[in-house]
Structure 1
Amino acid sequence: MLRPTHNIKGLHLLRQRLSTPGPSLAPAQRAIVEQASASFARRFSGGTLKKPQRQPHHRGKGATRDLPGKHIPAMGENTDTLAQVDAPFPLTEVDKWVLSQTDEEFKCHDWDELCVILQNNDLHLLKRKPSDLRRYIKWTTETKAEYGNITNFLITHRLPKAWGKPPFTPASSIPFENPSDYRVLMNDWPYGFAPGISHIVVWTRTPIATDDTVGDMTHQSRKIVADFIKRFFVDRLGPGGEKKVIWFKNWVALQSVRTVDHVHVLVRDVEPQVLEEWSRELECHKA
């Protein structure tokens, strides 16, 4: 599995990092990353994101009109206006860059690019399509207004009823050891991926240990997660499965839900019936 590094130095160093894949890649994935690095770096100018072009102001439509008192920028809105966005979570520079584009201008993440991003632990570069990001801002605002926070929504509508409310009491102190302690779900708000790439989230009521710096996983917890990913996803796909699965866990600073630990799993060219099998509810999840 890909093992992200701790090399987090900002967009301006991206090209330099892309040229040096980490030593933790398996041989097959190392080749993918090395081939992808050059094409991915070409999407940036001098190693940094190109400055968005100023666009004419467009009147908001749909989700923008439906949220009185909250300014959600229309696609293509200029960067000066983006600074005024009243979002339910801090917008990163990448978010603002995305919101300055239209869906037609947005370039979806392909598989090779995702391998590079995860290898370099540049998780802040993962982007949703402009229209999806605008809808996500609106949904998050409305959900927090109705439920108080996203965790309450998840407990009510997504997580196993048998878990109850935090603080949870897991069956095992080791993450992903007991099936009753984790729930596999398709992500309601995936990033902007090329066709054929699916986004899965694995929620766990057993905490995943992180360090005290950027909130990234410890060496031991990373191994625990990697072993689970191989056992649950890769092995199910048979020979060559390791080329179809990559994963990551957001640093604490990037998490929109911090109360319940979760891991993101990206798979490519997986049949719908396999996705359904992975995400089915088990009897141990029911109250």
Structure 2
Amino acid sequence: MSINGKVHRSSPLPYWLVTLPPLEWPAQCPAFLAEAGEKNRQILSTPDSQYRRQSWSTVQEIVAKDRIDLFQRVPSDLRRYLEYTAQLKQQYGSVMDFVVKERLKWDRVVPRGKPFEYADDTKILHNDWPYGVDEKIVHLVVWTKTGRIRRLE
């Protein structure tokens, strides 16, 4: 309901509307959000103005505990990310297929040697969709053909 140009609600908005201005509200939940898990629904239910970015100390704690599942994106970024990845899945089959082909430009994901032995077995890229961390933190991703590297000392 609109009163004096302001939107007033008697009940909470569905998670799939919160990050959009009223003029952009779709009539129903978009397909790319219909299967959102509980964590994503909670994030999407939060207006950006109420989201608190994760601090450097929180980021360090998450990494030290190997709990990357605790990272979150800014709600409006998460919505755009989910829409984008849904498009990638349609076009490439999976996000990983897109990353390997387009971002890493790797024809094959077979290592030539041990971790970091050959430069072409590794790439370091900025994360195109960084988490909602302190804006002074740069989010880089180390991609390696040799498998998951837990932590570099």
TM-score interval (norm. to shorter) = 0.7 to 0.9
Does residue 199 (structure 1) correspond to residue 125 (structure 2)? The answer is: no
CA distance in 1, matches of 2:30, 2:126: 32
Decide which of 143, 147, 153 is 2:98's aligned counterpart.
Answer: 153
Kindly tell me the number of residue pairs found equivalent between the two proteins: 138
User: Which residues of structure 1 form unaligned runs of 5+?
Assistant: 1-53, 73-84, 209-220, 228-287
Specify the code of the residue in structure 2 equivalent to 1:86. Answer: E
- Aligned partners of 1:94 and 1:125 also within 8 Å: no
Please give the alpha-carbon distance, in whole angstroms, between the structure 2 residues aligned to 1:63 and 1:128.
21
Q: Considering only aligned residues, what root-mean-square deviation do their CA atoms show, in Å?
A: 2.8
CA distance in 2, matches of 1:63, 1:194: 29
Structure 1 residues 69 and 193, CA gap change in structure 2 (3 angstroms)? closer
SS at match of 2:125: strand
The normalised TM-score by structure 1 is 0.43
* 1:86 is aligned to 2:27: no
Contact 1:103 1:131 in 2 (8 A): yes
Identity of aligned residues (%): 32
2:112 to 171, 195, 210: 171
Match of 1:275 in 2: none
Map of 2:5 onto structure 1: none
Whole-Å separation in 2 of the counterparts to 1:63 and 1:133: 17
> Is 1:119 aligned to residue 68 of structure 2?
no
Q: Which amino acid is the alignment partner of residue 144 of structure 1?
A: K
Alpha-carbon spacing, 1:176–1:187, altered in 2? closer, same or farther (3 Å): same
- Name the residue aligned to 1:14: none
Give the C-alpha shift of residue 68 in structure 1.
8.4
One-letter code aligned to 1:127: Q
Contact 1:64 1:71 in 2 (8 A): no
Counterpart Cα distance in 2 of 1:155 and 1:71 = 22
Partners of 1:64 and 1:70 lie apart in 2 by 14
Q: Following TM superposition, by how much is the alpha carbon of 1:192 offset from its aligned partner in structure 2, in angstroms?
A: 0.2
When residues 123 and 155 of structure 1 are mapped into structure 2, their CA distance, relative to the original with a 3 A threshold, is closer
Structure 2 vs 1, CA of residues 146 and 195 (structure 1 numbering), >3 Å: closer, same or farther?
same
> How far 1:226 sits from its partner (Å)?
1.6
Deviations 1:17-50 (A, max 9, x none): xxxxxxxxxxxxxxxxxxxxxxxxxxxxxxxxxx
Q: Structure 1's 202 and 137: CA in aligned 2 closer, same or farther, altered over 3 A?
A: same
Q: Are the aligned partners of 2:32 and 2:82 in contact in 1 as well (CA < 8 Å)?
A: no
Provide structure 2 residue ranges, at least 5 long, that are not aligned to the other structure.
Answer: 1-10
Match of 1:139 in 2: 84
